[in-house]
Amino acid sequence: MTIKVGDKLPDAKLRVLTAEGLQVRTTDDIFKGKKVALFAVPGAYTGTCHKMHLPSIFLNAYAIKDKGVNTIAIISVNDAFVMNAWKRDTDQRDEAVFLADGNAEFTKAIGMELDASGNGLGIRSKRYSMLVDDGVVKQLNLEPAPGKVEVSGGETLLAQL
């Protein structure tokens, strides 16, 4: 089942690498009582994700937060070490939390898995953006093709706030 507007996010565990080491964050830790702009990408450092999707988020980060969003989160089916390196290399103003869904637990639970094994990438996430308010999906922008950023970028979600 694919998640839709009005649905509550399922319970899942995600990982973040912090100065204290590898940390587990539950969906409640991330979303409960907060308004979160969640951006999902198929893979850290991959062409479209790195050169198009992330810049669209960071170019609009201040404006998104000015509209009442507490947290900007970027999620991918990558491990926490890769996500931490990607944050280090791209998030110069510390505007987002980078969430590792290494086993695709969250991605599968919301029906957003993408089988990219034909390209040697295994199971990944579809590309989407989502506005989540207190754990409930308020906006969902699913990209029709993983190699494009036409409806899932920062400017689209900003216009919906």
Condensed to tens digits (0 to 9), the pLDDT of residues 124-146 reads: 999 999 999 999 999 999 999 88
Query: Helix or strand or coil: residue 57?
Result: helix
Q: Which CATH superfamily is domain 13-160 in?
A: Glutaredoxin (3.40.30.10)
pTM: 0.96
10-43 pLDDT, tens digit each: 999 999 999 999 999 999 999 999 999 999 999 9
49 carries an active-site annotation:
yes
Mean pLDDT of 30-59: 95
73-120 pLDDT, tens digit each: 999 999 999 999 999 999 999 999 999 999 999 999 999 999 998 888
Query: What gap in Å lies between CA 147 and CA 161, rounded to an integer?
Result: 25
Residue of 12, 37, 44, 49 marked catalytic? 49
Q: What are phi and psi of 125, to 5 degrees?
A: -100, 145
Q: Structural domain boundaries of the chain? A: 13-160
Q: What is the DSSP code (8-state) at residue 20?
A: T
Query: What gap in Å lies between CA 8 and CA 133, rounded to an integer?
Result: 9
